[in-house]
Chains A and B, each alone.
Chain A
Amino acid sequence: MASNYLNIIEPIIKKYDGKKEAIISILQDVQTQLRWLPGDVLALISKKLKIPLSSLYSIATFYKSFYLKPRGENLVTVCLGTACHVRGASLILDELERKLKIKSGETTQDHKITLECVNCVGACALGPIVIVNDDYYGQMTKVKVDKLVDHLLGKKE
């Protein structure tokens, strides 16, 4: 595993000339490939860049786009931005949490679906919005959520 990780990490570090200040970009690029940041990977980066591991965790836990736990195959994101909120986004989130039996930020036991929230994806005209991987589902209602979840679970079974 470790050598696999090295194959991923080394070219990325090289792309940024091994600069410490590029650490956020480096972590982002690594995460793009692995979908999350395993502890082993952080340890390797820490060694390579000579940045204390604690500093890496300080960064990785501060910014919301870093994941220190594996994510499911599908990412379901609910927008809780203001425009979506006043159009009832919280009820949509409730429904998803209930249907998927997980809370926001969690992954289903079979690792099929991770549920997340964001604050505005800039498509406020379509609110409330749910995004599944890269597909946008606008003007969501509970009935539409149910169909979407059935579809997601069904498709993957």
Chain B
Amino acid sequence: MVRINNFNDLERIRKNILEKRVLEKITITICNGTGCQAYGCQRLTEHFLAKINQNGLKEKVEIRKTGCHGFCERGPIVVIQPEGIFYQRVKIEDIDEIIEKTVEHKMVIDRLLYEEPITGKKIIKEKEVPFYKKQLRIVFGKNGLIDPTSIEDYIAIGGYEALLKVLRDMKAEEVIDEIKRSGLRGRGGAGFLTGLKWEITRKNISSNPSLGGYIVCNCDEGDPGAYMDRSLLEGNPHLVIEGMAIGAYAIGVNKGFIYVRNEYPLAVKNASIAIDQAREVGLLGEDIMGSGFNFDLTIVRGAGAFVSGEETALIASIEGRRASPRPRPPYPAEQGLWAKPTNINNVETWANVPIIISNGSDWYKNIGTETSKGTKIFSLVGKINNTGLVEVPMGITLREIIFDIGGGIPRGKKFKAVQTGGPSGGCIPKEFLDLPVDFEKLTEVGSMMGSGGMIVMDEDTCMVDVARYFLHFTQEESCGKCVPCRIGIRQMEKILREITEGKGTLKDLQTLETLAYTVKNGSLCGLGQTAPNPVLTTLQYFREEYEAHIKEKRCPALVCKGLINYFIEPEKCVGCLLCLKNCPSEAILGGYKMIHVIVQEKCLKCGACLEVCPKKVSAVVKISGEKREGPKEPILVDEWRRKR
């Protein structure tokens, strides 16, 4: 591509790209996000390419590797454009048929279509799949259209137009005003008004111009179970870069950093490629589009520490130190990287910026609720039919997200709770399913927006175990600097572990609450201040589960190992030997056509017997807090039945 030297060049280049594209009629887009890569989409793509070449279709058909489409449950996802035919769970064996029928003869292959679980209706087009219907994909939607490693693709769909508009037509203050008017709030957790943060940083820089300053994109995304930031940076890196360039212009800085979590190699790769491309065509670097404005970006990889997502810890990490948070004030906007004013925003926040600039703050303001504008991307995971990334307008209810978009709970199980906000959030019970989702509403019920993780839990999830799980996580991730966090969380985890082992007392619940408030009030950074939330919300909404563990030594969800037993129902066992053979600890006695018996003292509670017992037999069950009668020793099935 040629260099963009002035404002007219960008438009001209876009026209050129589009003119060339009209000729290429059919595009096979293959999702190459991390989710689909785990399903083996890379090999699928290679086979597609080979087949297209073999069949001499290279001139007619383009293969495009796109970013994540969000519907990870159904990967690998292949969409045939321009018709938008949506194929899911595509295998290498399907390629010949797709090329022959769909590509060459425009025929739809029924078998590969998405089928509505309830009605059994087959759906042809991507946007008609219920998973996408209720979504509003203004930020995330472009992922499926473009190859993240191609700046041409991004420019073709109107990319860098917002940056052009800003550099050509707007003063820095006007950009800030526009973002302020849009009501955009930070998507990294706390929900601070983005325009206001920019204004403060700009003021601090203006008051000491020789010092300069920085902007940072926070893609640390340590919240386990959340992956929207990664999918954005990985699937549409230019959108984030464009947002940052606009921010840099508005705030008045020339240098930015993208801090990416260590576990996201593909995001690092795609973002690096995108930065190089943007630099090459003059959309990053000196004198961008001939405007006189300079801006460049550097990628910094994290090294595996949850706390480094906290802004002051992140600064320490970029500076090459341990990621220990420090007290605020001074905020990064006053003293950030190398003590210069620094504006830190989340990936999704940056990605919203070009969209607001292009469409105007009035348009943006119309989406969402009174206090929370725009959309939010959630990662909908756990016990849910349609696992994936969903982008919805603020104010949509939890019920709509979980049941209409997510397709409800698998295997007809009952919904129990949804956990939002990651390790800092809380568990929201079914009473609040009709809660409109926005920053304030989630906080009101004791949880929070966080970065957008949404983990659905069903009747088989133990809430005490979940609380213990999160505290174990925060305890391991605590940087150890302040005492309430380092020791308080550890003590809380210990109490919770004892409860899950059946060694808890009712007094422990009081101690837990006291400790929770101490940790909340006494900790230095957000990690400790919010770590007790999973405990407090489960104590508030699911206290009876705690009490069952303590008083009845029973885990109602049949999860906590210390409180459950495996049991072979004599009425059902057919004596097939499967469980006996698979038991790692020789805890099962039995023989051919004999009713098998578990020796409880030897049982490791690994669940192997339950897993291998054939579905139609289903003789192995988990029990808790009850005694079941059965033979003490193996006995012939017939003999036992006769006796009864």
Which residues of A pack against B, CB within 8 Å? 20-25, 27-28, 58-59, 62-66, 80-83, 85-87, 91, 94-95, 98, 118-127, 129, 136, 138, 141-143
Q: For the complex of A and B, list the 7 residue pairs with the smallest distance between their C-beta atoms, beginning with the closest.
A: A63-B303, A122-B227, A81-B224, A64-B304, A136-B38, A65-B304, A125-B72
B597 in contact (CB, < 8 A): no
Q: Are B320 and A24 within 8 A (Cβ)?
A: yes
Residues in A with CB closer than 8 Å to B473 are 119
Q: How far is the CB of A151 from chain B (nearest CB, A)?
A: 17
* 8 interchain pairs, CB-CB under 8 A: A64-B305, A81-B224, A82-B382, A83-B381, A120-B225, A120-B263, A122-B231, A124-B35
With both chains docked as a complex, state the minimum distance between the C-beta of B324 and any C-beta of chain A, in angstroms.
8
Q: Tell me whether A86 and B319 are in contact (CB under 8 A).
A: no
Residues of B450-495 at the interface with A, using a CB-CB cut-off of 8 Å, are 453, 455, 457, 461, 466, 469-470, 473, 479
Residue numbers of B with Cβ under 8 A of A are 34-35, 37-39, 72-73, 75, 222-227, 230-231, 262-264, 300-306, 317-323, 379, 381-383, 387-388, 419, 422, 453, 455, 457, 461, 466, 469-470, 473, 479, 582, 584, 604, 606-608, 611-612
Q: How many angstroms from the CA of A82 to the CA of B155 in the assembled complex?
A: 37
Q: Which of A80, A85, A86, A122 has the most CB of B within 10 A?
A: A122
Q: Which residues of B contact A58 (CB under 8 A)?
A: 322
Contact A142 B303 (CB under 8 A): no
Q: Are B382 and A143 interface neighbours, CB within 8 A?
A: no
CB distance from B43 to the nearest CB of A (A): 11
Known: A64-B305, A121-B34. A21 touches B319 (CB 8 A): yes
Pick the contact of B611 from A85, A136, A142 — CB < 8 Å?
A142
Determine whether the beta carbon of B224 is less than 8 Å from that of A86. no
Q: A81-B224, A125-B387, A142-B606 in contact; A24/B419 too (CB < 8 A)? A: no
> Is the Cβ of B226 less than 8 Å from the Cβ of A20?
no
| Complex partner residue of A64 from B303, B322, B455, B612, CB under 8 angstroms | B303
Return B388 CB to nearest CB of chain A, in Å: 6
Pick from B224, B300, B301, B319: contact of A82, CB below 8 A: B224
Chain A residues within an 8 Å CB radius of B607 = 91, 142
Taking CB as reference atom, which chain B residue is nearest A138? B38
The CA-CA distance from A21 to B227 in the complex, in Å, is: 28
Most chain B CB within 10 A, of A28, A64, A138, A141, is at A64
Check if B227 sits within 8 Å of A129, measured CB to CB: no
A residues in contact with B262, CB < 8 Å: 28, 63, 65
Complex contact A63–B323 (CB within 8 A): yes
A95 to B612, CA, bound (A): 14
B480 nearest in chain A by CB position: A62
B323–A62 CB distance below 8 A: yes
Given contacts A63-B323, A83-B225, A124-B72, contact A98 B584 (CB under 8 A): yes
Question: How far is it, in angstroms, between the C-alpha of A123 and the C-alpha of B304 when the chains are bound?
Answer: 18
Check A23 against B320 for contact (C-beta < 8 Å): yes
CB neighbours (8 Å) of A82 from chain B are: 224-225, 381-382, 419, 422, 453, 455, 469-470
Q: Which of B38, B72, B320, B611 sits near A22, CB closer than 8 Å?
A: B320
Chain B neighbourhood of A127, CB < 8 A: 381
Say yes or no: A28-B320 contact (C-beta < 8 A), given A82-B225, A86-B461, A122-B263.
no
Set B37, B387, B388, B608: member contacting A142, Cβ < 8 A: B608
Minimum CB–CB distance from A99 to chain B (whole Å) comes to 8
Tell me, in angstroms, the Cα distance from A98 to B379 when the chains sit together: 32
* Smallest Cβ-Cβ distance to A58: which chain B residue: B322
B469 contact set on A, CB distance < 8 A: 82, 85
The distance in angstroms between the C-alpha atoms of A12 and B264, with both chains bound, is 22
Q: Which residues of A contact B455 (CB under 8 A)?
A: 82-83, 86
Q: Which B residue's beta carbon lies closest to that of A82?
A: B225
Contact of B39 among A65, A138, A143 (CB under 8 A): A138
CA distance A24 to B304 in the complex (A): 11
Task: Indicate if the CB atoms of B612 and A143 lie closer than 8 Å.
Answer: yes
Q: Which chain A residues lie closer than 8 Å to B383 at the CB level?
A: 86-87
A59-B320, A119-B306 given; 7 more Cβ-contact pairs under 8 Å: A22-B320, A59-B321, A82-B422, A82-B469, A86-B382, A125-B75, A142-B582
A125 and B73 within 8 A (CB):
yes
In contact, B381 and A59 (Cβ under 8 angstroms): no
Residues of B with C-beta under 8 A to A87: 382-383
| CB-CB under 8 A for A120 and B323, given A64-B305, A82-B382, A86-B457 | no
How many whole Å from B612's CB to the nearest CB in chain A?
A: 6
Contact A86 B466 (CB under 8 A): yes
Contact of B305 among A62, A83, A85 (CB under 8 A): A62
Please judge, given known A-B contacts A65-B304, A81-B225, A91-B606, whether A126 and B39 are in contact too, CB under 8 Å. yes
CB within 8 A of A25: which of B39, B301, B422? B301
CA gap between A136 and B466 in the complex, in Å: 25
Q: Given contacts A65-B303, A125-B388, is CB(A120)–CB(B224) below 8 Å?
A: yes
**B402 smallest CB distance to A (angstroms):** 14
B505 to A: closest C-beta gap in Å: 25
When the two chains form their complex, are residues B226 and A120 in contact, meaning their CB atoms are under 8 A apart?
yes
Chain B residues with CB below 8 A from A85, complex form? 224, 466, 469
Contacts of A94 in B (CB 8 A): 604, 606
A residues in contact with B612, CB < 8 Å? 143
Chain A residues in 8 Å Cβ range of B457 = 86
In the complex, what residues of A have CB within 8 A of residue B304's CB? 63-66
Chain A neighbourhood of B34, CB < 8 A = 121-123
